[in-house]
Each structure stands twice: as structure tokens, then as C-alpha cells.
Structure 1
Amino acid sequence: MKNKIILSILLGISLSSCTRDNVNEDQHATYDVTSESLITYAEKELSDFLNTPNVNENNFRLTMQYWQETTYVNESNYDFTNRNVANNIWTDNYVNVLNNLNKAKELIANYQPTPSELASWPVKKQNQLAISDIMMVFTYQTLVDIHGDIPYTQSLNNAEFPLPVYDNDSDIYPKLITRLKEDISKLQTGGAFGTGDVFYNGNIGKWKKFGNSLLLKLGIALADVNPTLAQTTISDAISGGVITNVSDNCQFAYLSTSPNYSPVYENVYAKNRDDYFAGKPFVDYLNATSDARISKYFQDVNGSYIGQVIGQPGEFADFSAPGEFAYTPTTPGNIITATEVAFYLLEASARFGIAGNPSDLYTSAVTYSFLEWGFTSSDAQNYISNHPYNSTNWKKSIGEQAWVAMYSQPLISWNFYRRLDYPQLQAPSTANPNAEGKVPVRLQYPTLEATTNGTNYSNASAAIGGDKLTTKVFWDKF
């Protein structure tokens, strides 16, 4: 990247209904931009959203009961409307990511190469468009997984669709799969974005693995609702080549100084606030299973690891603080990792007999997690010997291990939880009434949608069975 992250690109900054393209009216917008700078910005915004623990944007560490708030416990009790969390999620994803990727594609399509670029430009252009679109597929899937029905076909086109309709979530997924396969097929050896691509520095081979890993993720999500499409998608992904090595992890490389350090570091340490400590259900599970990863996940309190009851405040010094990774400014932001992919392969094997032997893949998935946190294969094998794969109740075996392994990918952990129904988390007795005594399985739509896009919001709410925390997205069948 160009020495620093470009943070001044404010394209389509006004959010009303879906995304707004008011660049002609925004006196603060940066007009002299390149597609590469937009990619840099979109990648950082995507990583920031997925990895931040900021209660205004991403509360999945709290929902999955990894962490508990120390003082202000609204979000631990599933009150997400007080801070208009969904409004910020839509700004993060529709405006800061999708709209900027869309702008990048427009610039790429209209770029006039210099004479020296003419020979290489067709391949470079195709690669740039494909990579931009792969990231858009990733982001749309994220929004569907969080909310269910969302604006898709009419999104990002404010001129023609100022009040976009919501597409059926079960219709969006097959479209994303088709779109992603086409993107992957267009990737060719040659140039792309170079250092402006913080994820992979324009490495086409790594982008192919990312695309196929995303295809695998889409396929796994469909396992309970469309097993035929799920199996063909999974098989296509595996044959295309997925991420199986940590060197191919898709991560955002944060810097050591503000404003480009890790969003976890920003919210845990840099703001000089002690807002989070360990959640009791998770720490109790790690303690009960003698899991060595607890020493990386949390800090001890006089030699013990202690978590607070979910929904309850407490004194920071009495409970285990997040581990040193949260106090390290350069901790990378996870997008897709080898550990995540290994668990998808394990689930594909358990469900459909695809990808290999479930017991072997279980060993591989757990080992990837141990290695990710600086442990050895021997450490992993010792743990696995005491906690082997359970073929009788594979959902429990995979679900609980994914819960542990996806500690730094809480949105992905939430997906595993909803799909496999493990771990069996319980809502706190103090939970917001909107949760109806349950751990949320979706997030409600932005309040802004009800006021600015009321008709389409109402139609979508009715279509999914009510805009509630307890309404399941289409793939969460059981």
C-alpha cells in the first residue's frame, strides 16, 4: 500500500434506504481517486467491520458470549437498537465497501490505458474487475447472513432506484454463486492492483483460492435448505482449489500507528477504556476442556481464567481481560482463514461425504486453530486425543470446536452456531425483550429504513416473518 491507508475517500457517504451516491454534492469528497485507492479503502473498511468489537458496529463477540461488557451491558443483553447498530452496519457495508467497489469498477471500465499499457491492459482490467466483484459477493453474503432479505438487484443505483426493493434472501444466494463462479473463471495470470490490494498484493493465485473458499462458504450455508446446490457448489470449490495453508490467509495488515492500527487494539486499549472482559460460558468451556488456547485468548487473574455471567457488569480486575493480541496494534484483520476453510471441509465431509474422512479433517481443523495461535501440532494432538471427533453427534463436535476456533472471527462463529445449533448458548435472564428469551439469530433492519424506505421495509419484514431478532434467515432451517 502507499505508505498509509487512504481514509479520505467519502464516496456515497449519505445513507438513506440503501446506499446513496451524492459525490456531486459532497464538498468533502475526494475526486481525484484511482481504482487502486478505492480497493485499499474498501478492503480496510471490510476488515474494520468484520474485526472491530465496537458496540456501535459489531457485537458478535458479545452475542457468541466470548466477551462480556464491564459497565454498560446493553449490547450483552441484545439491545442493538439503542445505538442504531444496524444503521452503522449498512453504512459500513453498502456505503464504505460496496459503493466504493462499485466506483472502482466504473473507473476500471472507463480507464484509457497509455500506449505502454495497451498490451497488458486487457488481462489486468479483467483481473481487476473480477477481484472487485469477488469482494462484492463476499459483502452481499455477509449482509444476507446478518439480516435475511436485503436490497440486492436495485442496490447501488440511487439514480434509478432511490428506494430499492428487498430481494428474497433465498434468491440472492444462487445469484451470488453464479456471479462468483464467473468471477473466478475470469482470473488469469497477469497484473491486477499491485500494492493497493492489501489482502494479496495482486497475487492472482491467492485470489483464486480466496474465490473458491468463498464459494465453499456459500455452499456450506445452503446445506440444510438446498443440499443439491450445496454439494455441487462445495465440490466445484474444492476442485478449484481452496485455502489450505496459512500463507494464503486473507487478512488485512494493520500498521502500528493511528489511524491504521487494529480496530481491536483501538477499542480495547487505545481508547483508554476497560470495556470488555471474558464471558463465563466460553471461559468455563475452555477451562473444562483444559484448552491451552485460553492463555492466548485471555489474560489470567492470579493464575486463573475467570469469566463474568452474561448480561452482568463487573469490576475489570476481577475477570480475565482479552489476550495480548487485543493489545497489539498490528494484529491482522481476518477475512477468510485456513482454519475457517478447514472447518467448512470438515462439515462438508460430515454432511455429504465430500473432501475426505471426517475424523482426519477434524484433526486438521483443530490443528490449524492451534497453529494459528502459536501452538504446535503436538499441542493440538494432545488436545484432540482428549477430545476426539464424535461421529454420532457430529454437529455438536464441529459446532463446539468451531466456537472455540472462530474466536477472532465472531460473525463466522455466529454462522456455525445458527447452522449447527451448537454450542447450546442460553440468553441471559436480563436480555432485552426483543430477544424473546433467546440468543439472537439475526439482526433487525436499520431504523432508518423504516422511515425512509417504509413500503419496501414493511414488505421485507412481512416476507421474512417479522423484523425480529428471533426471525431466522432462510438457510437457518432447524
Structure 2
Amino acid sequence: MKKIAYIFVLMLAISACTKDLTSLNIDPKNPSNVPSYSLFTEAERSMANTIASSSVNLNIFRLIEQQWTETTYLNETRYQLPSRNQPDNIWSAFYTGALANFQQAKNKLKTDVTDAGTQKNETAIIDILQVYTYYYLVTTYGNVPYSQALDINNPFPKYDDAKTIYNDLLTRLDTDIAALNASAGSFGDADVIYKGDPTAWKKFANTLKLKMGIVLADADNTKAQAVVQAAVAAGVFTSNADNATYKYVSSPPNTNPIWVDLVQSQRHDFVATTEFLSYLKPNTTNQDPRLPYFFALSSNGVYAGAPNGSGNGGLVFSQYSLPSGPSLTPGSVGSLTNPDFPGLLLDYAETEFNLAEATQRGYITGSVATHYNNAVTASITYWGGTAAQATAYLLQPDVAYLTATGTALQKIARQEYVAYYNRGWDAWTLTRRLDYPVLVKPTKAYTDFPVRFTYPISEQNVNVTNYTAASSAIGGDDVTTKLFFDKF
């Protein structure tokens, strides 16, 4: 009897399994219908990973900006960009990894988000992050696909004028800021950066607007002033608590890309440069309080940098300071080589530097020195130093705003450059637009200092007509062709 019952149950199971044979064609690991919030989360992850990465195949700006140098392979330190196709990889990461997913999420939420207020907030947040992503594209390449970029039916998009794109991005930010409503719903935990908080995203958008306005200063002073004034009036970051960070976790696959690139991959060929350490430790008595958080001690128990571009297999990495630092107290960011070290996308320190520059340029009223001091203090305390250490550091004659050498903008740029440690992409924009600090070209450099990245080889081979037009429009597809914001 038990056997009969067993056979009966088995037959029912087989019958149930064969009623819908088409279900056998569904791959549960590759769903055909993905909800908008999943697309949004993936787009955030892709965007943040690109900005935070230290891969020699992708984000090499720490090397270009001489924060780090290489001990073995020197192609990136010496500006040989095509060797690992970084222009292609950045282009792909932003367009297909971030922007395409953001756009799909924006389209999808029209049907899978029924509440009008939530839909409006989520659309605005997505658009803000698309603006953020395009900001890096236009300040890296110049003219890029924009108006036709995300049309899946157009594989050969035209390139739009970079400054025109930039101005449109600012217009989009204004629209997004006006659309955000703190009383309506949003992404919640699907948003890794701000948990969908509309108020936080509004402040982020205004802070990004301030940053973008400052970048325009030499290209369009009138426009820059208007953008900066509007952003400041609406409200920008006021403390490190506002910082936009992407929260990585301790276990793969959502770990800090630097941990992946250096620790998990067991790479030891990136070390501090002598040049960057000269900013952090100008003499034997004075030391930047961030130094222990930026780099580890060498095997000789000292902070030691290698001259930029001096490696080529002849340097023993243990004799130099690796990018690292101690595990800090709970609540601090920790070592940048920890798997859960956060990716920093926009922060209070750079905001105060931008306010210092805006004040110096006469865009807003206030004290340049106060904003300068706030910026340095914010950077030091973010990394794990104390307010007391920041105060002592700011009293040093070569750091204090009133007594440091250089013009007002050079004083700001010098400290902003240090604060941009581990954010080489933003340091690169700083040195291009203010021409300070002056970075000496490494020995045997393949080119002069790159002020833009060349267009991807894939675009040169496939989107030939539009690539050729864009190259001609910007003055030539060369690393020395200055972009629209880089006037001097």
C-alpha cells in the first residue's frame, strides 16, 4: 500500500512538472524582467566602483597625479594610456555599466512604481546620478555622445559639444532639485548611498552644482558665479555627516575595489611617491596628521617614497610605504585597503575648498581663510585625525592660509590636492584647471602630462564618422588637447 501511495505522489509530481514545459527555458540567474530598484542598485555599484577603483586597467589617476608610483611596470606612471586600454574601459564602465542601467531603471519605474510621489523622487535621484556620471565623462574626454547616447536602437551616436552638455547637466540638476519631495517615498535600502533620503539627495545635488560651477570659473566666469550663488543659497554640505559614500561590505562580491585590486590580488607594486610625501612631511619635525592613514611604514620603520617613475623592476616594494594605514576606531573610515572601506563620491572637505575658492573669486561673501581651515579640518577628521591635530597643523607657517607661500588659489589648490588623496580623478581636474600643484613629468614619459583621455579605440574603429567629427571639433584626439574648462 505504501508503494502504491508513493508511486501516486510521484506521478502527481511529474504531471505538475510537465504542465508548463516553457518554464524550463527560464534562467533564474538571468531574469528577463528586472525591477527598477535592482537596476538602480547595480548602476550605483558600477558607478562607484569605477570612481573608487585602483585598477591599472581602469582608474590610473592616483598614478597620473603622483600620489602613488609603480615599482615594476611603469606604463601608467609614464602616461602610456593605450597600453591597457583605459580610455575604452572607462568609457564602457560609465556608458554600459552605469548610465545604461540608470536609464533602464528610469524607464522601468514608470510601470513598476505606482505611487506618483515615489516615482517622482526616484526619477530625480536617478537623474542626479546620471548628471554625476556625465560630469566625469565630459571632463575626461571632452565632446561625448549625449543626446543620442542611451538609445539602444542607435549604435552610432553623434558626439555633442562638451560645454553644451555641461550646461544642460546644470539645467537637469535644477529640475531634479525642484522635483525632490521629502514627504514622498523613495528607494530605501536599494539606494546604497543615502537610503533614498530625498533631503540628502537635494543637498548632494546642490553640492555637485557648486563643484560644477567652480570648474566653469575660467571658461565662463559669469555662468560660474550664478551657478555657485544658487547652489550655496539652496544649501550645500555642512559637515562630514553629509558625505556621499558608497558603503562596501567585508565579504565579496561587494567589497572595496582597492582591497580587490591590491590585497585580494596580492599586488605590492604601488607605493607612495617622494613628491607626494614631501607635502605630508616637509621636514623632520612637521608631519601631516593624515600621513599614518594614507600610507604604511616601510620595512625600515619609516615613511619612505620612491621618486615618481623610477621603478621598472629595480625597486624593492618593502622599502617604501604602501597605500594603507591602521585600522581605526569604530565610526571612522578605517584603512583604505580594508574590504569595507567606503567609496567617497562627494564630500564636505572639497565643498569647503570650493567655498574658499568661490569667496576668493568674489562669487560669495565670507572669509577665505575660514573656509580653507574648515576644509583642512574636515579632511583630517574624516580620515581619523582629531580636531586638535587639525588646529595644530593649521598653525604651521607653511600651512596657515595667511603665511603659506603662493597666490591665494595656489594655497587652496595645494591643500585641496592633499585632501584629494585616494581621489586622483578629482585631483586631476584640480591640477588641470588651476595648473597647481606643478607636477614634473616622469623620466621617459610617453607623452606630456595628459589633460584629457583619448577616445576609445572601439569608437575609432566602429563609430568612425562621429569620432572623426568630434576629434576635429575639440582640436585633435590627443592627450594634450585642452578641454573647454581648462583655459590657462
If the length of structure 1 is used for normalisation, what is the TM-score?
0.90
> Post-superposition, which runs of at least 4 consecutive aligned residues in structure 1 deviate over 4 A?
26-29
Question: 1:330 Cα shift?
Answer: 0.7
Query: Deviation string for 1:71-92 (max 9, x for gaps)?
Result: 1111111111011111110111
1:220-264 deviation digits (Å, cap 9, x = unpaired): 111011111111111111111111121111111100011111001
CA offset digits 1:86-138 (Å, max 9, x no partner) = 1110111001100000000101123363xxxxxxx111010000000000001
SS in 2 for 1:155: coil
Counterpart in the other structure of 1:16: none
Q: What code does the residue aligned with 1:35 have?
A: S
Asked if 1:310 is matched to 2:320, the reply is no
In structure 2, the residue matched to 1:290 is 287
- Partner residue of 2:401? 389
What displacement does 1:275 show?
Answer: 2.4
- Is 1:253 aligned with 2:232? no
Corresponding pairs, count: 441
The answer on whether the counterparts of 1:395 and 1:421 sit within 8 Å (CA) in structure 2 is no
User: Cα 1:173–1:355, aligned 2, differ >3 Å: closer, same or farther?
Assistant: farther
Secondary structure, aligned partner of 1:94: helix
State whether residues 225 and 363 of structure 2, in contact with CA within 8 Å, keep that contact through their aligned partners in structure 1.
no
Q: Which runs of 5+ in 1 are unaligned?
A: 1-25, 114-120
Q: Does 1:127 align with 2:126?
A: no
Amino acid at match of 1:185: A
Q: 1:166 touches 1:456 (CA, 8 Å); kept in 2? A: yes
Report the Cα offset of residue 292 of structure 1: 2.1
Q: Which SS does the other structure have where 2:245 is aligned?
A: strand
Q: 5 Å matches for 1:289-368?
A: 290-301=287-298, 302-313=300-311, 314-324=315-325, 325-354=335-364, 356-368=366-378
Aligned-residue Cα RMSD (Å) equals 1.6
SS of the residue corresponding to residue 69 of structure 2 reads strand
Structure 2 unaligned regions, length at least 5: 1-26, 326-334
1:444 aligned partner: 454
Alignment deviations for residues 444-466 of structure 1 (CA, whole Å, 9 cap, x no partner): 11011100011111111111111
Structure 2 partner of 1:467: 477
> 1:458: which partner in 2?
468
Residue in structure 1 matched with residue 179 of structure 2 by the alignment: 186
Partner of 1:170: 163
Match for residue 271 of structure 1?
Answer: 265
Measured in 1, the distance between the counterparts of 2:28 and 2:161 equals 36
Q: Look up the equivalent residue of 1:170 and give its one-letter code.
A: K
Residue identity opposite 1:308 in structure 2: A
Matched, 1:418 2:419: no
- The alpha carbon displacement at 1:304 in A equals 2.1
Q: Which of the pair has more CA radius of gyration? A: 2
Decide whether aligned partners of structure 1 residues 470 and 203 sit closer, same or farther in structure 2, where only a CA change above 3 A counts.
same
- Please give the alpha-carbon distance, in whole angstroms, between the structure 1 residues aligned to 2:431 and 2:51: 17
Amino acid at match of 1:250: A
Note the C-alpha offset of 1:29: 4.9
The answer to whether the Cα contact below 8 Å between 1:254 and 1:330 also exists between their aligned partners in 2 is yes
* 1:284 shift after superposition: 2.0
What is the distance in 2 between the residues matched to 1:350 and 1:394? 7
Inter-partner Cα distance in structure 1 for 2:407 and 2:96:
42
Q: 1 CA distance for matches of 2:28 and 2:464?
A: 29
**Contact kept? 1:268, 1:326, Cα under 8 Å:** no
CA contact (8 A) 1:40 1:198 kept: yes
**2:237 corresponding residue in structure 1:** 243
What residue in structure 1 maps to residue 130 of structure 2? Answer: 136
Name the structure 2 match of 1:6: none
State the one-letter code of the partner of 1:389: Y
* Aligned pairs (5 A) from 1:140-151: 140-151=134-145
* 1:353 Cα deviation after fit: 4.4
Contact 2:36 2:112 in 1 (8 A): no
SS in 1 for 2:58: coil
Q: Residues 80 and 30 from structure 1, CA distance in 2 versus in 1: closer, same or farther, beyond 3 angstroms?
A: farther
**Alignment partners' CA distance in 1, 2:176 and 2:344:** 22
| Conserved 8 A contact 2:110-2:119 | yes
Between 1:196-205 and 1:308-317, the stretch displaced more is: 308-317
CA distance in 1, matches of 2:275, 2:212: 29
Q: How does 1:220-239 map to 2 (within 5 A)?
A: 220-239=214-233
Q: Offset at 1:303?
A: 3.4
**Offset at residue 413 of structure 1 (A):** 1.0
Query: How far 1:142 sits from its partner (Å)?
Result: 0.7
Conserved in 2, the CA contact under 8 Å of 1:244 and 1:338? yes
Cα distance in 1 between the residues matched to 2:63 and 2:471:
25
Give the percent of matched residue pairs that are identical in Structure 1 and Structure 2: 39
